[in-house]
Amino acid sequence: MRGVVMHAPGDVRVEDREDPTIVEPTDAILRLTATCICGSDLWPYRGAEPVDHQVMGHEYVGVVEAIGSDVRNVQVGDFVVGSFWASDNTCEICEAGYQAYCVHRVLMGTVGTQAEKVRVPLADGTLVATPGQPDADLIPSLLAASDVLGTGWFAAVAAEAGPGRTVAVVGDGAVGLLAVLAAKQLGAERIIAMSRHADRQALAREFGATDVVEERGDAGVARIKELTGGLGAHSVVEAVGTQESMMQAIRSTRPGGHVGFVGVSHDVSLPGEEMFGAGIHLHGGPAPVRRFLPELVRLIWDREIDPGKVFDLTLPLEDAAAGYEAMDQRRATKVLLTL
Amino acid sequence: MRGVVMHAPGDVRVEDREDPTIVEPTDAILRLTATCICGSDLWPYRGAEPVDHQVMGHEYVGVVEAIGSDVRNVQVGDFVVGSFWASDNTCEICEAGYQAYCVHRVLMGTVGTQAEKVRVPLADGTLVATPGQPDADLIPSLLAASDVLGTGWFAAVAAEAGPGRTVAVVGDGAVGLLAVLAAKQLGAERIIAMSRHADRQALAREFGATDVVEERGDAGVARIKELTGGLGAHSVVEAVGTQESMMQAIRSTRPGGHVGFVGVSHDVSLPGEEMFGAGIHLHGGPAPVRRFLPELVRLIWDREIDPGKVFDLTLPLEDAAAGYEAMDQRRATKVLLTL
């Protein structure tokens, strides 16, 4: 089969790779319908994380082609969505809703879903089947549920977005935009998108943003304070992962408020004295997408949300390298790869 | 009146200070019944915070001697307890339960409650009257409510201690010990006190600890993991404020679990990548004691809890310097000053 391999920073190739096979009786093999490139794939692409001939991709939707002898919850022929962490969904950590920390977890990035087929470990716990074969126009949204929507949703939940709350979102990438959508679905009263790109501002407004703030850093914080009677937002989503964005999120939050952070932290250090003084709640990390998948699939299936709109470039898998380049150069927010 | 002044690190004196008077119509003047020395008073005493001829003390119980013209909720003659932050208890932040961040807050340490009398700003919002004049044996517990119990209670609440939960407490000072008491009251199933002092271990067990761990740092984390099926505690209280104690707390918490931190942070820096990977909830800072005061006063009045046991040395105010020395040298956990 064909699949993406990142040889080195900036060097993405589509190559022949071995077809996956059932290894464990709890595995499933999927023939993928679509996959995509994640903002976090840009960290190794830009040399900010080590990379050496690594298979890539952790987002996926597709049709079950084979199942191991212990798999019960999905059947051959089912159309399925899964999280970027495979999880048993039965351990104590999973039952508490933290499937990204399942005691048996497997990172799908190590399997590499930018490919024609993929082996999904712990298929019963990981995969959620749609009610039937989806219409083609639903594919991007179902694919988004696999990570970028699930991550934005978790960020909004971690920030305790909800009725009566003002939610600010730091970061206008796909995750930030979908955190806006999530905050809207969760009933937030006011949603402030922090963005300086006209196209992303427009999508943020479409997803439910009531205000847009273009300022960053301290000026961004001052603007959020201005918009919230000097107090700061109740809920702030951090979806970037830098020192500046993290401090911007923390400082934009009122005492007693909540920061949900999902940007993969790089060279971030949180000053203890400021954290002590801030009085905020901080929660985040890799999203336990599986917790939210059944509800997200239902919302998409019923056409109540359209998160697939974050994909603004669609390419065949063979052109993955061009997709990485477009995201790296910010010509695209999120690239869908077709198969 | 007589009152404590810290001239410089290690130099505590009891001196004649001016009697307080009503300044704002929302003020009350109290004649104190008891006050005490806080673990946080040791930071300047040890030179870890700057200090120069500073009035000291922020914990207090006493009798209302005078009220300003706008005061409605307390009367002359009432016996009252107040938080170490004066707060209006009516602003949006107070109403959300974060009175330590009241938009009009005044730090009682700037007023200095290690004295015969004290001016309490925002008396209506700050003070809680007991149902009557308390028996003498209740005074230490009521005084504890002013900060050390309220802070331990907040830490346990911030760590979401409750039924079915395993709670670990890092720090065996008065706040840590009272966090054990709070976790017990909140219904925690298992409470692990981290302490290597026999007398403090004994008090922790009396307050409800089911286990004691003597190891610290990485060894302490390993022991907590061992006691919790490899997962870590659901809830961890941090009541020290150093880099080691903070990391010990974070690493002792299972993914999705909660850290409540109330140790005043000194030279603490939280590594972003580890925070991202940990998947915990982090909440803390100066405790909004006022949120809990009515309930704490009730529990003490009804003799359901006896937090006053953390005071293991009682001295007259005139001997405050000896009290500081005893706490500094760890000969006392918490010193009560009588008037």
What pLDDT digit, counting tens, does each position of A213-251 carry? 999 999 999 999 999 999 999 999 999 999 999 999 999
Residues A247 and A305 in one domain: no
Range of the domain at A327: 2-147+288-338
Calpha distance A87→A91 (Å, rounded): 9
Q: Taking CB atoms and an 8 Å cutoff, what residues of chain B touch A267?
A: 272
Query: A236 and A106, same structural domain?
Result: no
Distance CA(B324)–CA(B339), nearest Å, equals 17
A219 in the same domain as A179: yes
Q: How far is A228 from chain B (nearest CA, A)?
A: 11
- Are A190 and A162 contained in the same domain? yes
Task: Pick the residue of B276, B281, B289 with the most A CBs within 10 A to test the interface with A by mutation.
Answer: B276
- Structure-token pair, residue B261: 């931190």
Helix (H, G, I), strand (E, B) or coil at A290: helix
Rounded to whole angstroms, the Cα distance separating A247 from B12 reads 38
- Contact between A34 and A143 (Cβ < 8 Å): yes
- Count Cβ–Cβ pairs < 8 Å, chain A vs chain B: 124
Task: Tell me which amino acid residue B197 is.
Answer: H
Residues of B with CB under 8 A from a CB of A: 92-93, 96-98, 100-101, 103, 229-231, 241, 243, 246, 254-256, 261, 264-273, 275-286, 288
User: A223: domain CATH number?
Assistant: 3.40.50.720
Q: What residue ranges in B83-140 does DSSP mark as E strands?
A: 85-86, 106-107, 117-120, 127-129
Q: How far is CA A185 from the centre of its chain?
A: 17
B138 and B156 share one domain: no
Residues B293 and A215: their CA atoms lie apart, in Å, by: 41
Instruction: Give me the pLDDT at residue A266, please.
Output: 86
| Judgement on whether residues B158 and B256 belong to the same structural domain of the protein | yes
Q: What CATH code is carried by the domain that includes residue A130? A: 3.90.180.10
pLDDT tens track, chain B, 339 positions: 999 999 999 999 999 999 999 999 999 999 999 999 998 899 999 999 999 999 999 999 999 999 999 999 999 999 999 999 999 999 999 999 999 999 999 999 889 999 999 999 999 999 999 999 999 999 999 999 999 999 999 999 999 999 999 999 999 999 999 999 999 999 999 999 999 999 999 999 999 999 999 999 999 999 999 999 999 999 999 999 999 999 999 999 999 999 999 998 889 999 999 999 999 999 999 999 999 999 999 999 999 999 999 999 999 999 999 999 999 999 999 999 999
Residue of B nearest to A232 (CA): B93
For every residue of B153-201, DSSP letters joined together read: HHHHHHTT--TT-EEEEE--SHHHHHHHHHHHHTT-SEEEEE---HHHH
Please list every residue in chain A whose beta carbon sits closer than 8 Å to the beta carbon of residue B281.
Answer: 281-283
Interatomic CA distance for residues B256 and A323, integer angstroms:
35
- Distance from the A277 Cα atom to the nearest Cα atom in chain B, whole angstroms: 6
Q: Give the gap in angstroms from C-alpha A97 to the nearest C-alpha of chain B.
A: 8
Alpha carbon of A309: minimum distance to chain B alpha carbons (Å)? 27
Beta strands in chain A, from DSSP E residues, in sequence order: 2-8, 11-16, 28-37, 54-55, 60-67, 79-82, 85-86, 106-107, 117-120, 127-129, 166-170, 190-194, 211-213, 233-238, 253-261, 269-271, 281-284, 313-316, 335-338
Is the complex ipTM more than 0.85?
Answer: yes
d(C-alpha A107, C-alpha A117), whole Å: 16
- To 10 degrees, what angle do helices A148-158 and A174-185 make? 60
The answer to whether residues A61 and A163 belong to one domain is no
- Cβ of A281 within 8 Å of Cβ of B282? The answer is yes
How far apart are alpha carbons B165 and B235 in whole angstroms?
Answer: 7
pLDDT at A276: 96
Fill in the DSSP letter of residue B338. Answer: E
Nearest CA in chain B to A258: B283
Q: What is the pLDDT of residue B265?
A: 87
- Tell me the C-alpha to C-alpha distance, in Å, between residue B64 and each of A86, A160, A294, B55: 63, 41, 59, 21
Interchain proximity B283–A286, CB inside 8 Å: no
The reply to whether B6 and B141 lie within a common domain is yes
Cβ burial of B36 (10 Å; 0-12, 13-18, 19+) is: buried
- A240 with A228, same domain? yes
Question: Which one of A260, A284, A308 terminates a domain?
Answer: A284
Most A-contacting residue of B283, B289, B290 (CB-CB within 10 A), to test interface: B283
Asked if the Cβ–Cβ distance from B272 to A273 is below 8 Å, we say: no
**Phi and psi based region of residue A71 (left: phi greater than 0; alpha: psi -120 to 50; beta: remaining):** beta
| Judgement on whether residues A92 and A175 belong to the same structural domain of the protein | no
Q: A250, A265, A284: which is the final residue of a domain?
A: A284
Gap between the Cα atoms of B301 and A196, Å rounded: 57
Q: Contact B256/A286, CB-based, under 8 Å? A: no
Same domain, B217 and B304: no
CA-based radius of gyration for chain B: 19
Is B268 close to A267, i.e. CB distance below 8 A? no
Smallest Cβ–Cβ distance between A101 and the set B100, B279, B288 belongs to B279
- B96, closest residue in chain A (CA to CA): A256
Predicted TM-score (pTM) of the model is: 0.96
B273 → closest Cβ in A256, A265, A275: A265
Q: Domain count for chain A, please give it.
A: 2
Tokens in use for A112? 């590499």
Residues of B in contact with A268 (CB under 8 A): 271-273, 275-276
Q: Is B148 helix (H, G, I), strand (E, B) or coil?
A: helix
The one-digit pLDDT tens for each residue of chain A (339 residues) are 999 999 999 999 999 999 999 999 999 999 999 999 998 899 999 999 999 999 999 999 999 999 999 999 999 999 999 999 999 999 999 999 999 999 999 999 889 999 999 999 999 999 999 999 999 999 999 999 999 999 999 999 999 999 999 999 999 999 999 999 999 999 999 999 999 999 999 999 999 999 999 999 999 999 999 999 999 999 999 999 999 999 999 999 999 999 999 998 889 999 999 999 999 999 999 999 999 999 999 999 999 999 999 999 999 999 999 999 999 999 999 999 999
On whether both A206 and A186 belong to a single domain, the answer is yes
Q: How far is B156 from chain A (nearest CA, A)?
A: 14
User: Nearest by CB to B231, which of A93, A254, A286?
Assistant: A93
Q: Which of these three, A259, A284, A309, is where a domain ends?
A: A284
Please report the pLDDT score of residue A264 as a whole number.
87
